[in-house]
Amino acid sequence: MRDLLLILIPLLAAGAAFAWPDERTRPRLLPVAGALHAGLTLWLLASPPQLAAGAWFGFDPVARAVLPMVSLLFLICALYGVAYLRIRTERRNRVFVTALLAALGLLSLALQAQNLGLLWVAAEAVTLVTVPLLHFNRTARAFEASWKYLLVGGTGIALSLLGTFCLGYASLLGHGRGDLTCLALVAQARNASLSHPWLVTAWVLLLAGYGTKMGLAPMHTWKPDAYGEAPGMVGALLAGGTTTMAFTAILRVKQVVDAAGPDEVVMTQRTLLAFGLFSMLVAALFLLGATDFKRMLAYSSVEHMGILAVGAALGGAGLAAALFHVWTNGLTKGALFLSAGNLRRAAGAQRAEAVAGMAWRAPASAGIFIAGILAVTACPPFGPFFSELKIVLAAFQNHHDFAAAAFLGCLLFAFFGLTRLLFAIVDGRPRAAARATGQRLREIPGVIIPPLLFLAGSLWLGLATPAWLRDAWSAAATFLTPTP
Amino acid sequence: MSGALNLLIGLAMGFSLVALASSRLPSVIRAAALQGMVLGSLPLLLEEQFQWLVVVVAGGTIVIKGFVIPSLLRRALRAANIDREVEPLLGFVPSLLLGAAAIIGAAALGSALPLLPEHSKTLLVPGAFATVVSGFILLIARAKAISQVCGYLILENGIYIFGLLLINSTPLLVEAGILLDLTVAVFVIGIIVDRIQREFDTLDTRKLTSLRE
């Protein structure tokens, strides 16, 4: 019941937001629904419900390991959203607020889905409701970004549907009933009664499909455009929320494929490792040449999706570390996207040649942005340092020495690229355009406190990882690893 | 039974080739619409007994794939005042050859994969893969937004053919959800096409190039 409420509360709030008559008070629904959602998630964490056999969705170990992060991310973004929409009164916010709340409800559904068909429906619906969020600014560039997002993301999601069908047919061929519930498929795979050729086809299609949604290279092309043009808080929710959803989907499919036998485990490991390292390499190369600080964050996100894929490929301790990284990356990206949004407004531009001296123009946001970049490039004592360290350790333990070396090399190049652009926009003399807008858009507490909360969360995860979270990650890793 | 089924799937594969070969946008839309209508009628052939739900699903598919979406696309076409794909990214003859290669590849793949006895004499699997690949070719080989939407539609039609393999086992709920999602997806794409047209006065996605490294 509580797991259903987790989905229904945001959806009902979305309906309320759509019917709400007043533009000025409507954004307040965001933190209200976010707080209810977070409270309910905490309650579920404290006393996890028993999952009924054959249930289509539920708060299982995987949802327990990632859903609280999405809930926290939304709550802090919602606080920012109230202040942000007060600044942007020239835009109507009815569709924006409705779509944000609907996205939270559908993400909760997708993260809890036990049935791969239901998971697909939720993932497709999330893709659709995020489109209006992307073209909130209604500029030509925002239209271009939404078009590419929909076309590339839509093709990816279509491929994952085809993959889901292939999995269903593999079950039918093994005298199953085509039941797409994860545990039923795992049980069937364990009896070696899933047709092997169809299982391989399904894995290829599902990895390509959900990998597109996650933004693994070379299917990442929508990401820089979408993150570059979307408002900062939407970027934070996409980078921490929808990518987490796609990663969870890949993990659930991997659980089914791995259960079929050791050959399949080797196949999923190799493909994920290859995609992960390739994404990190592509991201590092693009980061070295990036000239736009919001698009730079998108390439950083591609890099971190690569890190997640590498962690998942290592399995066991690596998988638990990848789930840890979902948290540290999500919260740190939150701080980065929200402060980048502030800088973008203060500067009136986002390309390096037009932006400089932000340390004078918007000192608080610039400070948060610097700290966030250091955090995301794995400088201690922030969370990403510890999660990436655990992934590297897992790689050495599993004798993937070459992969660990490539991993560290890509991190180094990403560090060079990110810090180069960082100091180009923070240092120097403010440009004339920024002087005109800077007076109008002051740094009010409403847009400074939320990114600070994200940074604090990233520090908290690094310095004092709570035992209950660590337990949740290792429980999810055990749940997802096949037992012979 | 499988004779009529195979005939219709063959017809649908033919419509993908028509869409690949044609330079006029209205005929691309017509090919996609006719393909959708042919595919919509397939569930009626697959069911042995007469079932109301199957009739409703088939009717809904025919109406949406054959009438609603094409009329939206035609509206976008009129608004943009274009009717021809000039300078495609990949020529019409090469795309047609690629489409033919896709059919051969799909037939080879279909014979390599194990099938249930009731599906082994049908063209469902090769038809599905060939249609998906033709849609994908159209999607990446054309520059006009409307051609790309048609490519996406044909790709979805291919997935729909594949879904027919599971029509007896997957609950109808998933089917209905899928149908709804696909419709809304194209609907939103249609709205965006409308917006792009207002912004750029042309439906040429090659002009969407301000976002790049």
- Give ipTM to 2 decimals: 0.89
Yes or no, beta carbons of A150 and B148 under 8 Å apart: no
CA distance B9 to B121: 13
Yes or no, beta carbons of B192 and A158 under 8 Å apart: no
Yes or no, beta carbons of B196 and A147 under 8 Å apart: yes
Point out which residues pair with A416 in neighbouring strands. Answer: none
CA distance A146 to B187: 14
Is A285 an 8 Å CB contact of chain B?
no
Residue A366: the pLDDT is 92
Yes or no, beta carbons of B189 and A150 under 8 Å apart: yes
| Chain A residues touching residue B169 (CB < 8 angstroms) | 168, 172, 177-179
Tell me the two tokens of residue A315: 């399995």
For helices A29-46 and A61-87, angle between their N-to-C axes, nearest 10 degrees: 160
Which residues contact residue A165 at a Cβ distance below 8 angstroms, ignoring those fewer than 6 apart?
A: B159, B162, B163, B165, B166
On whether the CB atoms of residues A250 and A310 are closer than 8 A, the answer is no
A264 alpha carbon, distance to own chain's centre: 27
pLDDT tens-place values along chain A, 484 residues long: 788 999 999 999 999 999 999 989 999 999 999 999 999 999 999 888 888 777 888 899 999 999 999 999 999 999 999 999 998 888 889 999 999 999 999 999 999 999 998 899 899 889 888 988 988 887 778 888 888 888 898 889 889 999 998 998 999 888 887 788 888 899 898 888 888 999 999 999 999 999 999 999 899 999 999 999 999 999 999 999 999 999 999 999 999 999 998 899 999 999 999 999 999 999 999 999 888 899 999 999 999 999 999 999 998 899 999 999 999 999 999 999 999 999 988 888 888 778 888 888 888 999 999 999 999 999 988 999 999 999 999 999 999 999 999 999 999 999 999 999 998 888 877 776 555 555 556 778 889 999 999 999 999 999 989 999 999 999 999 999 887 6
The amino acid sitting at B48 is: E
Q: What residues 144-183 of chain B have any CB closer than 8 A to a CB of chain A? A: 145, 148, 152, 155-156, 158-159, 162-163, 165-166, 169-170, 174, 177-178, 181
On whether the CB atoms of residues A97 and A451 are closer than 8 A, the answer is no
Candidates A128, A161, A168; nearest CB to B159: A161
Candidates B169, B177, B211; nearest CB to A225: B211
Yes or no, beta carbons of A154 and B116 under 8 Å apart: no
Whether the full predicted model's pTM is greater than 0.90, yes or no, is yes
Is B187 an 8 Å CB contact of chain A?
no
Residue A345: the pLDDT is 87
Closest residue in B to A160 (Cα) is B159
| Chain A residues touching residue B211 (CB < 8 angstroms) | 141, 144-145, 148, 224-225, 228-229
Residue B187: the pLDDT is 57
Angle formed at CA A115 by CA A151 and CA A472, multiple of 5 degrees = 100
Residue A223: the pLDDT is 94
On whether the CB atoms of residues A368 and A448 are closer than 8 A, the answer is yes
- Phi first, then psi, for residue A449 (nearest 5°) are -65, -45
Is B120 an 8 Å CB contact of chain A?
no
- Phi first, then psi, for residue B108 (nearest 5°) are -65, -45
Task: Tell me the nearest-neighbour CA distance from A229 into chain B, angstroms.
Answer: 9
Q: What residues 204-223 of chain A have any CB closer than 8 A to a CB of chain B? A: none
pLDDT tens-place values along chain B, 213 residues long: 578 889 999 999 999 999 999 888 899 999 999 999 998 888 888 776 667 777 887 888 888 888 888 887 887 777 666 777 767 888 888 999 999 999 999 999 888 888 888 888 888 999 999 999 999 999 888 888 788 888 888 988 898 888 888 877 775 545 655 555 565 565 556 666 666 656 555 556 666 666 666
Yes or no, beta carbons of B169 and A140 under 8 Å apart: no
| Chain B residues touching residue A134 (CB < 8 angstroms) | none
| Chain A residues touching residue B161 (CB < 8 angstroms) | none
Is B94 an 8 Å CB contact of chain A?
no
| Chain B residues touching residue A286 (CB < 8 angstroms) | 213
CA distance A17 to A22: 9
CA distance A42 to A407: 35
| Chain A residues touching residue B156 (CB < 8 angstroms) | 158
In the numeric block, the tokens 């929320």 are attached to: A241
- Phi first, then psi, for residue A482 (nearest 5°) are -70, 140
- Between chain A and chain B, the number of residue pairs with CB atoms below 8 A apart is 109
The amino acid sitting at A106 is: L
- Phi first, then psi, for residue A115 (nearest 5°) are -100, 130
CA distance A35 to A472: 22
Residue A354: the pLDDT is 81
Q: In 3D, which of A103, A17, A48 has the Cα closest to residue A476?
A: A48
Residue A390: the pLDDT is 95
Q: What residues 151-180 of chain A have any CB closer than 8 A to a CB of chain B? A: 151, 154-155, 158, 161-162, 165-166, 168-169, 172-173, 177-180
Task: Tell me the nearest-neighbour CA distance from B69 into chain A, angstroms.
Answer: 16
| Chain B residues touching residue A110 (CB < 8 angstroms) | none
Closest residue in B to A138 (Cα) is B195
Is A135 an 8 Å CB contact of chain B?
yes
Closest residue in A to B170 (Cα) is A178
Residue B43: the pLDDT is 82
CA distance B99 to B193: 26
H-helix or E-strand containing B172? helix B172-200
- Phi first, then psi, for residue A127 (nearest 5°) are -55, -45
Closest residue in B to A294 (Cα) is B211
Residue A347: the pLDDT is 84
Yes or no, beta carbons of B178 and A180 under 8 Å apart: no
Yes or no, beta carbons of A289 and B205 under 8 Å apart: no
Which residues contact residue A379 at a Cβ distance below 8 angstroms, ignoring those fewer than 6 apart?
A: A385
Would you state the torsion angle of the CA atoms of residues A189, A193, A198, A203, taken in this order, to the nearest 10 degrees? 10
A386 alpha carbon, distance to own chain's centre: 19
Residue B212: the pLDDT is 67
SS (H, E, C) chain A: CHHHHHHHHHHHHHHHHHHCCCCCCHHHHHHHHHHHHHHHHHHHHHCCCCCCCCCCECCCHHHHHHHHHHHHHHHHHHHHHHHHHHHCCCCCCHHHHHHHHHHHHHHHHHHHECEHHHHHHHHHHHHHHHHHHHCCCCCHHHHHHHHHHHHHHHHHHHHHHHHHHHHHHHHHHCCCCCCCEHHHHHHHHHCCCCCHHHHHHHHHHHHHHHHHHHCCCCCCCHHHHHHHHCCHHHHHHHHHHHHHHHHHHHHHHHHHHHCCCHHHHHHHHHHHHHHHHHHHHHHHHHHHHCCEHHHHHHHHHHHHHHHHHHHHHHCCHHHHHHHHHHHHHHHHHHHHHHHHHHHHHHHCCCEHHHCCCHHHHCHHHHHHHHHHHHHHCCCCCCHHHHHHHHHHHHHHHCCCHHHHHHHHHHHHHHHHHHHHHHHHHHCCCCCHHHHHHHHHCCCCHHHHHHHHHHHHHHHHHHHCCCHHHHHHHHHHHHHHCCCC
Residue A175: the pLDDT is 83
Count CB atoms within 10 A of the CB of residue B209: 8
Domain boundaries in chain B? 2-207
